[in-house]
Amino acid sequence: MHDYYLIEILFFPLLILFIIFKEIDLHSKKSYWLKSATVILFSIVTFTHALAFSQTTRGKNNIITTYNILLSTFVQGNWWFYNDYYNTHLGKLQRHVDDVRKCISPADTVLCINDPSPNIQLYTIDRLGITRMGFNQEMTDSSNIAELIERGADKILRVGEECIDTSAEFFYTDTLFYQDGIYVFDLSRHKKMEL
């Protein structure tokens, strides 16, 4: 997670704060107490909102994140999903990236079997390949993998302990690396069969 995502969330409260300050300034030139109270109130709202958003991006669930009226449950759910995905997938891969790179040469084409993004796992291991986004959704995993082997896939990278499609278990036999839920499988035996 990167904190630069938080910059956008600060624009809305600051814009509202600016508009209110201008209105108060135009209508009450002599009311120092009203100006001070408004500054304090909106400073507190802006700070707690930024704090709630930053804690949500790290998967924390506390009184600040739960009762913040500007932070929707949809936003909370999305960030908690990404935080969980990082802990169970990408974080593990980042911890073992050197070991994975030893198993996969730069010339290999990698099939990231459970990466739903365009290339997060591929970018992390600094290799070329295909992610689940490149799968034909109307075909089984087994058919997809066979087709991708024909197109040049050399290794399968699987991160996480999710259940796999039983039709594709045949391709998960030649394990080159396993540690902490990260698997690298060799497809060279299956390439020979395809030829």
Among the ranges given (45-49, 89-93, 162-166), the one the predictor scored with the smallest mean pLDDT: 162-166
Contact call for residues 159 and 181 (beta carbons, < 8 A): yes
pLDDT at 30: 64
Contact call for residues 119 and 146 (beta carbons, < 8 A): no
| DSSP-derived 3-state class of residue 119 | coil
Pull the structure tokens for residue 160.
Answer: 């996480």
Q: In the 8-state DSSP scheme, what is residue 117? A: S
What is the mean pLDDT of the segment spanning 158-165?
A: 80
Q: What is the CA radius of gyration of the chain?
A: 25
Q: What is the pTM of this model?
A: 0.65
Single out the residue of 4, 3, 183 nearest to residue 100, CA to CA.
Answer: 183
What is the mean pLDDT of the segment spanning 123-147?
A: 87
| DSSP-derived 3-state class of residue 114 | coil
Q: How far is CA 141 from CA 90, 118, 160, 171, in A?
A: 22, 17, 17, 10
What is the mean pLDDT of the segment spanning 42-66?
A: 79
pLDDT at 193: 57
Contact call for residues 100 and 130 (beta carbons, < 8 A): no
| DSSP-derived 3-state class of residue 134 | helix
Pull the structure tokens for residue 10.
Answer: 């600060």
pLDDT at 64: 77
What is the mean pLDDT of the segment spanning 42-67?
A: 79
Kindly tell me if the per-residue pLDDT of 143 is higher than 50: yes
**Band of the pLDDT at 5, cuts 50, 70, 90?**
low
7 CB-near residues (< 8 Å, 6+ apart): none
Question: What is the residue extent of each domain of the chain?
Answer: 3-71, 95-194
186: β partners: 155
CA atoms within 13 A on the CB side of 107: 0
Mean pLDDT of the chain: 81
Q: Give the whole-angstrom CA distance, residue 128 versus residue 106.
A: 8
